[in-house]
Amino acid sequence: MDHHCNWRSRADELSESLKVTMLAGEYLLRKYQGRYYAKCQNLSRILRADYDSALAKHDLLLMPTLPLRATPLPKPTAPKAEIVQRALEVLPNTCPFDVTGHPAMSIPCGLSDERPVGLMLIGKHCNESTIYTAAYAFEQSADWTKLAD
């Protein structure tokens, strides 16, 4: 905890994308006094209820980890805008579960253009064991490096 609490003294170690999102969050907080944060908290309850409803009918939800084919990692010399763009483009399918608290896991399930494809498993609250069981079963059923589009 001490290490995490002292991030301000080591802010230069934070990633570019984290710095941008922290600055945006601080700006929105100061400019709008937390209005949008509160609105997001209210919307998160609706999102959680919708996923709970789907999971009431199914043990797991399966979806792609990314909504696009994996893009190459930016080069160390890439412009900051490209680094931030690459970091943020991977969030649409994963961040809802940061908000709802549903357990989710990404497992490799094949290759596309010689890049890994992720399969995301989403489970009911407090039911991580179902995700682990499904991931293990998939892992035992096939060599994902031999699965291709």
Task: With beta carbons less than 8 A apart as the criterion, state whether 107 and 134 touch.
Answer: no
Instruction: Report the 10 Å Cβ neighbour count for 131.
Output: 21
39 assigned to some structural domain: yes
43 assigned to some structural domain: yes
Query: Tokens in use for 109?
Result: 């399930």
- 11 pLDDT above the threshold of 90: no
Give the domain range for residue 115.
12-146
What pLDDT is attached to residue 16? 86
95 assigned to some structural domain: yes
What pLDDT is attached to residue 105? 96
What pLDDT is attached to residue 14? 87
What is the chain's length? Answer: 149
Please tell me the distance from the alpha carbon of residue 10 to that of residue 15, in angstroms, as a whole number.
11
The top-scoring range by mean pLDDT among 76-80, 90-94, 131-135 is 131-135
Count of the separate structural domains present in the chain: 1
72 assigned to some structural domain: yes
Q: Output 1 or 43, whichever has higher pLDDT.
A: 43
User: To 5 degrees, how large is the angle CA 95–CA 97–CA 101?
Assistant: 135
2 assigned to some structural domain: no
Q: What is the mean pLDDT of the chain?
A: 91
Please tell me the distance from the alpha carbon of residue 24 to that of residue 39, in angstroms, as a whole number.
16
Is the entire prediction scored with pTM above 0.85? no
Q: How confident is the model at residue 148 (pLDDT cuts 50, 70, 90)?
A: confident
18 assigned to some structural domain: yes
- 126 pLDDT above the threshold of 70: yes
What pLDDT is attached to residue 12? 86
Give me the residues paired with residue 118 across strands.
108
What pLDDT is attached to residue 28? 93
Q: Output 78 or 113, whichever has higher pLDDT.
A: 78
- 147 pLDDT above the threshold of 90: no
3 assigned to some structural domain: no
- 44 pLDDT above the threshold of 90: yes
Task: With beta carbons less than 8 A apart as the criterion, state whether 66 and 118 touch.
Answer: yes
32 assigned to some structural domain: yes
What pLDDT is attached to residue 149? 67
Q: Output 119 or 113, whichever has higher pLDDT.
A: 119
